[in-house]
Structure formats: C-alpha cells, structure tokens
A and B are shown apart, each in its own frame.
Chain A
Amino acid sequence: MSSGKALSRFHQPIAVPGRRLLASIPLGFVRNKVGGGGHKSVNHEIPLIPFIDFLLCIVLFLLASFSASGELPIDKNVQLPSAVNADSMVDAPMVAITGTQILVDGIPAGSTRAIEEANRLQKIDELFNILKNKRDLWTQVNPNKPFGGVCVLQVDRRVSALVVKSVFQTAAYAGYPNVSFMVKKRATEGSGG
C-alpha cells in the first residue's frame, strides 16, 4: 500500500505494453502513415539560440569598433567641406565657427563680426584666453608630458579666409600650432558632377 502511494507521485516509468504492429505482417502503408506519409516534413525549427549568439557577436563588434568621431558635436548650421587626403579625428579642443559666433568646446569665445568689420587679420582675445587656459590646465595635469598643441577647427565652408586665418593665428599664439580643419571624409576622388 505504502509502496503504491510512493510510486503514484511520479510518472509510471514502466507502462503496460499496448498493441504493436508486428514487423512480420506486410502493412507498409500503415508504417508510412505513422512515419509522416512518406513525405519530408515541412516543419522547421529556427535555431534561435545560435541566431541570438550571432546577433550579440555583431553588437559587441560594432560597439567595440564604434568610432568616437561619430559622437562629435556638429552644429546643424555648419556645412563642412570634404576632402580625400584626410586623417582620422583626434581628441583635441574644438573651435567651431558658427555664423558670427566662435565656440571652444561649446563655450562662446568671441565673434567674427569685429574681424569682418575691420577687414584685416587680428587676434581674438577671448579665444586666445580660453585656449591659453586650456593649455595651462593640460600642462598642470600632465607635467611630464610634452604638449601636442593640437586643436581642431570646425568651420563652415562658406566662411571667409580672413576669419579662418584670424582664428588660426590666434590658436597659434595661444600655443596650438598644430591646427587641423574638420572635414567630411570623401572615399574616392570624384571625376565630376
């Protein structure tokens, strides 16, 4: 009695055998019906686990190769020129010229209006002070490293050379002689229209 109760908690591991089709009896059509009617089964199992593994691998690869240049803040009003012979971006102070405003890493650093009105090359004091402060801060934080003096100019393609040269010269005076211009990388040399 007690052993029967204990067994009823589980599925019966041994069942009473039912009726079996004897192999010796020639009923091939029954055997075919049981085995799928002789046709190949059309149901397919999608191997989801390898698929998810594959997707995760792609995501990890793309995240690892995600370029920091994709996160650069670019003003929507700035139309950058393009160039073929360009290098990859570097981490450096970004001087943007948007309309009449000059920004250093998003902080206002003067106006181009004074340069255009004077119609001559001139040093932009506000820009000079901000860049000099950045340089001093960098040398204090990294006392044993040589200062690279790199800054990146983000300039709209319609801006005049007078403004570009004034900003360029101011950056050089502030200790940033290696000036780079931000451009859109063009893959191949176009042949026209």
Chain B
Amino acid sequence: MAGIDTGGGHGGKRPINQEIPLIPFIDFLLCLVSFLLITAVWSQMARINADARVPGPPRPEEEPQEEKKDKILHIEMKGDTKFTLVWKEGSTVVNTIDVERKPVPVGSEGEFIYPDLAKKISEEWNQNGSHRAATDTKIDQAVLHTDNSTMFQDIIAVIDALYTPKRDFRIGADTRSVPAFNVTFSVN
C-alpha cells in the first residue's frame, strides 16, 4: 500500500522501510467524520429571549428615565379556553381581543403550538405596533400574564407565537430581521 522507502536493507543490514497502515487510518477518519456529522445534526440547542423590564429597570445601578408611554401588548393566558390580547397605553386599555385557545400538536413528545395566536399577534402588530420602521431603534413591548400553575412549555409556545412577527432593524449599514416584540413577564 503506502510506505516510506529509505533505500536501505542491502549488504546484510536490516531494512528500515516502513509501511503506513492506511486502512486503519481511513477507518479512524471515517469514524471521526461520522461522529462530527451526528453531533452537528442532533445538537440543536437554542435560546428564546425574554427581558426583565418588570419589576425593575434592566440596569439596577442606573436611574430609570422617564419615557413616552407606548402601546404595550398584554397577553393573558389565565383561562383554559382563550387568550386575551390587551393593548394598553399606560394604564388605559386601548383595545381588547379574544383569541380561541387552540393548541396544535407538534412532533411526538406531546408539544404544541398556537398558530391562531401567532397569526392574530402578527395582525395586531401590523395595525397597532408603535415601532415598525427599520430605523426605529426601539422595539414594541409585550407582557405575558400567566397563572402560577401554567406549565413552562405552554409559556414557551406563547412566547414563540409572540416572536412570529418580524421587522427589519437597521444598525448602520446592516439591516437584520428581528422579532417585532420584546417579551417580559408580569409578576401579578
């Protein structure tokens, strides 16, 4: 197969030629490739973001600045039959929409999504969102109200639906697609 020929071995000397074991080497490389491919396919960990605007300011060492009150979308998931979307400007309720709670199963692990809620949230943001321009550096705020007994996978399904509407966000010359809402939790 493959070898290193040093040209020795004449005159009664022991030859110092070496054969490189190519077949085990190729087997090893194939194993390595398989391992890396498998781990690349099956490790799909990601994160879904949330922002703790409630109950305190994001930077405790800085004083919170007085800001113009934007419309904030409150999502109440306290009942078993419906979600309530409430647009509020400060403490004033601007609009209230009920969305039927229709979980759609996904995969085989008992997970589900809320496509109707995602669709309604997208429509609502297109109509009432305050920060839709690509040059706007602010992002619309959404507050999630849950029962204490709500399961975490339910919360993630709703946050996933909330992150469905996307908008362009320009930073310098670069434009990126980012979620239209920034989500936080209500402590009440």
Q: Which residues of A contact B (CB under 8 A)?
A: 48-49, 51-52, 55-56, 58-59, 62-63, 65-67, 69-70, 72, 74, 79-90, 119-121, 149, 152, 155-162, 164-165, 168-169, 171-173, 175-186, 189-193
Cβ–Cβ contact B47 & A51, under 8 A: no
Q: What's the nearest-Cβ distance from chain A to residue B15, in Å?
A: 17
Rounded to whole angstroms, the CA-CA distance of A152 and B2 in the bound complex is 51
| A/B pair count, beta carbons within 8 Å | 187
Cβ–Cβ contact A88 & B46, under 8 A: yes
Rounded to whole angstroms, the CA-CA distance of A79 and B108 in the bound complex is 13
Tell me which residues across on chain B come within 8 A of A69, comparing CB atoms.
43-46
Cβ–Cβ contact A161 & B56, under 8 A: no
Rounded to whole angstroms, the CA-CA distance of A32 and B47 in the bound complex is 71
Contact A168-B48, Cβ < 8 Å, known A82-B107, A161-B151, A192-B104: no
Cβ–Cβ contact B160 & A90, under 8 A: no
Q: Which residues of B contact A (CB under 8 A)?
A: 1-2, 22, 25-26, 29-30, 32-33, 36-37, 39-40, 43-53, 55-60, 104-107, 109, 111, 113, 115, 146-153, 155-157, 159-160, 163-164, 179, 185, 187
Rounded to whole angstroms, the CA-CA distance of A63 and B40 in the bound complex is 10
Contact A52-B25, Cβ < 8 Å, known A159-B151, A161-B150: yes
Cβ–Cβ contact B148 & A56, under 8 A: no
One of B25, B53, B153, B179 near A81 (C-beta < 8 A) = B153
Q: Nearest chain-A residue to B49 (Cβ)?
A: A180
Cβ–Cβ contact B30 & A55, under 8 A: yes
Cβ–Cβ contact A59 & B32, under 8 A: yes
One of B22, B25, B58, B187 near A169 (C-beta < 8 A) = B187
Cβ–Cβ contact A66 & B40, under 8 A: yes
Q: Nearest chain-A residue to B115 (Cβ)?
A: A189
Tell me which residues across on chain A come within 8 A of B53, comparing CB atoms.
177
Cβ–Cβ contact B36 & A66, under 8 A: yes
Q: Nearest chain-B residue to A158 (Cβ)?
A: B151
